[in-house]
Amino acid sequence: MRHITLEQMKALLADPIFHQIGQAADQLGVDCYVVGGYVRDLFLERPSQDIDCVVVGSGIELAQTLGHSLGRGAHVSVFRHFGTAQLKWHGAEVEFVGARRESYSHDSRKPIVEDGTLEDDLLRRDFTINALAVCLNRDRFGQLIDRFDGLLDLEDGIIATPLDPDTTFSDDPLRMMRCIRFATQLNFQIEDETQQALARNAERIRIISQERIIDELNKIMLSPTPSIGFIELSRCGLLPIILPEIAALEGVEVRNGRAHKDNFYHTLEVLDNVAKASSELWLRWAALLHDVGKPRSKRWENGVGWTFHNHNYIGQKMVAPLFRRMKLPLDERLQYVEKLVGLHMRPIVIADEEVTDSAVRRLLFEAGEDIDDLMVLCEADITSKNQQRKQRFLDNFQLVRQKLADLQARDNYRTWTNPITGEEIMRTFGLAPCRQIGILKQAIKDAIWDSQIPNDHEAARTFMLEKAKEMGLTPVILLE
């Protein structure tokens, strides 16, 4: 990768837009480079949509000149306040900005910005792999500017800052999140000095808005192996600041020689397992939070050992406050995560005992359309090191899945409704609203779900009349 030739670089910049940009820059007599993430992703052969260009001069002027020469089909938006312009052309989106120099004050991540050289502009970038530039002017087209050996770091899989990492992170603490995010997305190592600086500057994350933090955290969550990011967040001390509930899962307590498992590492294993099975962000959040109630439910019971009774329900209640604080959505996505956290023990309990129709029907009814995701989460949750035990669970899960499929084919319990309504009960027995109606309805439901009677109106009515007799109720004679 390091020995890429000029010809190869030119081939990488195959999109005709790059030559068009170069021409416009030549026309204005300014130097122009494609920089940052786009160049990094070219080398990594990752798809990337947004192209960033730095102009040693006015980015706005270049965008306008280019827009003019491209004519119809090109659309330029100018953001004068930021000194930037965006050009859209045949599906390509290019952002133009003048080369700038930045200086920071301590209490803000908003720098003082002045015009600068290309060198100044590369110096203000966060990581060496993000500080590569390729010239687009005609006579130097395809020439790579690699001031900080970013290409070497790309090849070695290393995240390092161009400047002293303490300065880089203290100037803009969001870069700490970006650092861990890139390490996770790309499976790169964080260089030692950089990693130590993360720990020294972790507290500075508090000046960053929650929206920006969650943006990066979600990118970590969506990476192929999200655990990489959480281990780094924990190692440098960012985790207790941004997600104390997850940090609290860490550690093992030993009593009378008995230890419980480290729930942090268990959680990460579950998260990675889910990530292998699904790219769905909220299912991954459910995995991250499935055991979040464990620290609060942990007890030592003499003669039993460590227990975590009701940790699923306690955890379920913790999801909404956490979502609110993290500025995560408070809509059906929250409800979905709550539901999965609350139900995550169910299939395991079923699989541990005899897999009965009624237990599976109840599960199906409560999980509704999220039943498949719940099963993915539960299978991911089996992290036992005991291969035999693990296999037994997986086999039983197969049984649960089989039963789920059978029952779904037979009757649609996801949207089950009782064939007997409360109104019918009142009419039949001449009752006003009272407790007995609920008791009867529950009895009918149990009888159907336990497969004692078929799921139809006639059977349910016969059953109701018998049951009512036992309860001392007599039907009124209806006068038509």
List residues binding Mg ion (CB under 5 A).
37, 50
The answer to whether 174 contacts ligand ATP (rule: CB under 6 A) is yes
156 interface partner picked from Mg ion, ligand ATP, none, CB below 5 to 8 A per type: none
Judge whether 124 and 168 are in contact, CB under 8 Å: no
Judge whether 418 and 380 are in contact, CB under 8 Å: no
With respect to ligand ATP, which residue has the nearer C-beta, 20 or 161? 161
Supply the minimum distance, in Å, between the C-beta of residue 235 and ligand ATP: 21
The answer to whether 204 contacts ligand ATP (rule: CB under 6 A) is no
Residue for token digits 């068009």?
20
Supply the minimum distance, in Å, between the C-beta of residue 54 and ligand ATP: 10
Supply the minimum distance, in Å, between the C-beta of residue 111 and ligand ATP: 9
Judge whether 193 and 201 are in contact, CB under 8 Å: no
Supply the minimum distance, in Å, between the C-beta of residue 46 and ligand ATP: 8
Indicate the residue whose CB is closest to Mg ion: 37
Supply the minimum distance, in Å, between the C-beta of residue 123 and Mg ion: 19
| Token pair listed for 368 | 């509704």
174 interface partner picked from ligand ATP, Mg ion, none, CB below 5 to 8 A per type: ligand ATP
Supply the minimum distance, in Å, between the C-beta of residue 40 and ligand ATP: 6
Cα gap 18→10, rounded to integer Å: 10
Cα gap 24→30, rounded to integer Å: 9
With respect to ligand ATP, which residue has the nearer C-beta, 175 or 445? 175
> 337: buried, middle or exposed (CB in 10 Å: 19+, 13-18, 0-12)?
buried
> 196: buried, middle or exposed (CB in 10 Å: 19+, 13-18, 0-12)?
middle
Give the strand pairing for 158-159 and 189-190. parallel
Residue of 169, 227, 157 whose CA lies nearest to 194: 169
Supply the minimum distance, in Å, between the C-beta of residue 175 and ligand ATP: 5
125 interface partner picked from Mg ion, ligand ATP, none, CB below 5 to 8 A per type: ligand ATP
With respect to ligand ATP, which residue has the nearer C-beta, 125 or 445? 125
Residue for token digits 């139900």?
343
With respect to Mg ion, which residue has the nearer C-beta, 40 or 403? 40
Supply the minimum distance, in Å, between the C-beta of residue 97 and ligand ATP: 9
The answer to whether 95 contacts ligand ATP (rule: CB under 6 A) is no
The rounded Cα 442 to chain-centroid distance in angstroms is 39
Contact characters 26-45, ligand ATP, x per CB under 6 A: ----------xx--------
Judge whether 205 and 172 are in contact, CB under 8 Å: no
The answer to whether 126 contacts ligand ATP (rule: CB under 6 A) is yes
294 interface partner picked from ligand ATP, Mg ion, none, CB below 5 to 8 A per type: none
Cα gap 208→105, rounded to integer Å: 14
| Token pair listed for 358 | 């009624």
Contact region with ligand ATP (CB under 6 A), list: 122-130, 291-299, 317-325, 335-343: 122-130
With respect to ligand ATP, which residue has the nearer C-beta, 130 or 312? 130
Residue for token digits 């301590």?
106
CB atoms within 10 A of CB 393: 20
Count of positions on this chain that bind ligand ATP (CB under 6 A): 10
Interacting residues with ligand ATP between 51 and 90 (CB under 6 A): 52
191 interface partner picked from Mg ion, ligand ATP, none, CB below 5 to 8 A per type: none
Cα gap 363→371, rounded to integer Å: 8
With respect to ligand ATP, which residue has the nearer C-beta, 218 or 418? 218
| Token pair listed for 248 | 């609290």
Judge whether 63 and 21 are in contact, CB under 8 Å: no
130 interface partner picked from Mg ion, ligand ATP, none, CB below 5 to 8 A per type: ligand ATP
> 277: buried, middle or exposed (CB in 10 Å: 19+, 13-18, 0-12)?
middle
Supply the minimum distance, in Å, between the C-beta of residue 131 and ligand ATP: 6
Name the site residues for ligand ATP (rule: CB under 6 A): 36-37, 50, 52, 125-126, 130, 172, 174-175
